Amino acid sequence: MNEAKAFAHTIGGRAVAGVGWFDVIDPSTGSVFAQAPDATRGQLDLAVRVAREAFGKWRMLAHSERVAALQSFAARVRAEIEGLSRLLTREQGKPITSAQREVRATADRIDGLAVLEVKPEILREDASGRVLLDYQPLGVVGAIAPWNAPLILATQIAAQALVAGNTVIVKPSPFTPLTTLRLGEIAAETLPAGVFNVVSGGNALGQWMTEHPGIDKIGFVGSTVTGKKVMASAANSTLKRVSLELGGNDPAIVLDDVDVDAIAARLFWSAFVNSGQICMAVKRVFAHESVAERLIDALAGKARQVKVGSGFEPDVELGPLQNQPQYEKVLAILQDARERGARFVTGGSALPRPGYFIAPTIVAGVAEGTRLVDEEQFGPVLPVLTFKTIEEVVRRANATRYGLAASLFTRNQHVVREFLRRVECGMAHINHGTASQAHVPFGGVKDSGQGAFSIGPTVKDAFTNIKTIYVKT
Ligand code: NAD
């Protein structure tokens, strides 16, 4: 099926046709199946202009009016779950059940965020007067998203920005533009014109957004390398504000007092969900030397059982890597591990079929100094390292520029306290699989990001300016 040129930008509540186009590839076949419009600078300027105009009215609406509009948007997303999920599986590769979960969660997050009211606070009050802290929307927010969970990540930025009274311009990844373009059409039917705009294009479009003087803030989710460019460019243009949700190399530490068979499935899925293409997927397991072999066996058992295939095949649990550069990067990381004497307990290579499939891989016999351990692999490949003491393992867990999430499996409360005090991360999981919930801040430290903004109570920090007001009575 070729869906050539069936998609358009949404600018000012209208479909705006592409001038140029780029190919969109189905990662389960490696073949082009659609084209997406490639926005020009002129189209971005138009989106900024209409978003600015719409901001004037949207910011003046009562919170309840913005909430009502966002809830009807969420309801329409929910009504379109089948079509959106199929498109998401087609362009992203994830199993259809995962795509359905992402679309449902997207609608839920829009609904959930809609109840967050940003109200002024009284800081001081006495006979002589009052001091208030008011929160004002920033203006036009640019939302730049990656390809691993395109719909929910773009929407989280956008919905938070919108509920606080901003308007948005969303730019999906060029690898997965289509579901977000479709979301733009739905937004045009449910939100006031110009409030939610979607423009698709390549990396250059992202850079134009960061440089654009008419955009007040960039909400960015993507790699650390790009996040640093976004920050530099935003500072060079108009000192625009940025929130950055970036990469991770998340450690999971397993002590010798846990039942490894009982936690193996939780740990496996924390690493392999979305074929490992999740920022906060577990990317390094540190197992105490006395339980390491048992844990490796248990993880390998899961890896052998799991069904890999096209997201549309029945019962598939893991799809392909999303794109060719990522597929080649993971294969190069495997080759590096092989050359350094790693033991592939399962997998270790591509699957012999079209598309970007790599067999679920459990790796033993590796240590720091191997790319698989030092870098963010972002694929279905998990190294299991061993350790002797908790002091040693926390130091090794922290020995990375990343600091997104970190997990600990133990019953020892003293160790839990030590770990929580010393581990360098934005989110810690204790005997818990990786998690992300509405109304709970999500974000990293060090090179994993700045300014948790994805969900809930961070809306004020991320999407408003404070205004201090002195009133004399
Ligand atoms: P990426 O950085 O390559 O691209 C992300 C987005 O930035 C895309 O839309 C891209 O077109 C755009 N872009 C590229 N160059 C740009 C520039 N110079 N200026 C502005 N925009 C530019 O990331 P990716 O490969 O799409 O996504 C995978 C990465 O995202 C991984 O590192 C993953 O860990 C990270 N991620 C982080 C989170 C989080 O919440 N922390 C969530 C999901 C993914």
Instruction: Specify the ligand 1 atom closest to the Cα of 326.
Output: 25
Q: 140-144 and 167-171 as β-strands: parallel, antiparallel, unpaired?
A: parallel
Read off the pLDDT band of 345 (50, 70, 90): very high
Q: How far apart are CA 203 and CA 150, in angstroms?
A: 15
Q: Could you tell me if the CB of 229 is within 6 A of ligand 1?
A: yes
Read off the pLDDT band of 415 (50, 70, 90): very high
- CA 259 to centroid of ligand 1, rounded, Å: 37
Instruction: Specify the ligand 1 atom closest to the Cα of 225.
Output: 2
Number of C-alpha atoms within 13 angstroms, CB side, residue 59? 19
Q: How far apart are CA 152 and CA 65, in angstroms?
A: 23
pLDDT, tens digit, 9 for 90 and up, residues 96-105: 999 999 999 9
Element (H, E) at 181: helix 178-190
Residue 16 in tokens: 């705006």
Active-site residue identified among 3, 121, 211, 245: 245
Residue nearest to atom 21 of ligand 1 (CA): 206
**350, 405, 353, 401: which is closest to 380 by C-alpha?**
350
Question: DSSP string spanning 230-270?
Answer: HHHHHHHHT--EEEEE----EEEEE-TTS-HHHHHHHHHHH
**53, 101, 66, 109: which is closest to 81 by C-alpha?**
101
Instruction: Specify the ligand 1 atom closest to the Cα of 233.
Output: 19
With 90 as the cut, is the pLDDT of residue 5 above it?
Answer: no
Residue 336 in tokens: 């590096």
Q: How far apart are CA 205 and CA 203, in angstroms?
A: 5
Instruction: Specify the ligand 1 atom closest to the Cα of 149.
Output: 43
pLDDT of residue 441: 85
Ligand 1 mutation target, pool 179, 199, 200, 203, most atoms within 8 A of CB: 203
pLDDT, tens digit, 9 for 90 and up, residues 357-412: 999 999 999 999 999 999 999 999 999 999 999 999 999 999 999 999 999 999 99
Least confident of 118-122, 271-275, 467-471: 118-122
Ligand 1 mutation target, pool 144, 151, 212, 226, most atoms within 8 A of CB: 226
The reply to whether 3 belongs to the active site is: no
pLDDT, tens digit, 9 for 90 and up, residues 215-244: 999 999 999 999 999 999 999 989 999 999
Residue 267 in tokens: 């740990």
Read off the pLDDT band of 454 (50, 70, 90): low
User: Region 435-463: what's the mean pLDDT?
Assistant: 84
**4 within 8 A of 169, measured Cβ to Cβ:** no
pLDDT, tens digit, 9 for 90 and up, residues 149-181: 999 999 999 999 999 999 999 999 999 999 999
SS3 content of the chain, % helix, strand, coil (to 5): 40, 25, 35
Q: What percent of the chain has pLDDT over 70?
A: 98
Rg of the chain over all Cα atoms, to the nearest angstrom: 23
- CA 376 to centroid of ligand 1, rounded, Å: 13
Q: Could you tell me if the CB of 203 is within 6 A of ligand 1?
A: yes
At 198 the three-state DSSP class reads strand
Residue 441 in tokens: 């801040």
User: Region 6-16: what's the mean pLDDT?
Assistant: 97
- CA 80 to centroid of ligand 1, rounded, Å: 26
At 464 the three-state DSSP class reads strand
**370 within 8 A of 342, measured Cβ to Cβ:** yes
Residue nearest to atom 17 of ligand 1 (CA): 207
Would you give the DSSP letter of residue 429?
E
The reply to whether 279 belongs to the active site is: yes
Q: Could you tell me if the CB of 226 is within 6 A of ligand 1?
A: yes
pLDDT of residue 1: 43
- CA 318 to centroid of ligand 1, rounded, Å: 22
Write down the residue that tokens 């992202």 correspond to: 206
Read off the pLDDT band of 453 (50, 70, 90): low
In degrees rounded to 5, what are phi and psi of residue 169? -125, 115
- Tell me if the pTM is above 0.85: yes
Active-site residue identified among 102, 279, 376, 425: 279
Q: Could you tell me if the CB of 222 is within 6 A of ligand 1?
A: yes
Largest CA-CA distance found in the chain, in angstroms, rounded:
78
- CA 280 to centroid of ligand 1, rounded, Å: 14
Q: Could you tell me if the CB of 398 is within 6 A of ligand 1?
A: no
pLDDT of residue 439: 77
State CA 26 to chain mean position distance.
20
- CA 296 to centroid of ligand 1, rounded, Å: 32
Q: How far apart are CA 219 and CA 217, in angstroms?
A: 7
Average pLDDT of every residue of the chain: 96
pLDDT of residue 436: 83
pLDDT of residue 116: 82
pLDDT of residue 466: 95
Ligand 1 mutation target, pool 148, 211, 212, most atoms within 8 A of CB: 148
Read off the pLDDT band of 117 (50, 70, 90): confident
- CA 132 to centroid of ligand 1, rounded, Å: 38
Residue nearest to atom 19 of ligand 1 (CA): 207
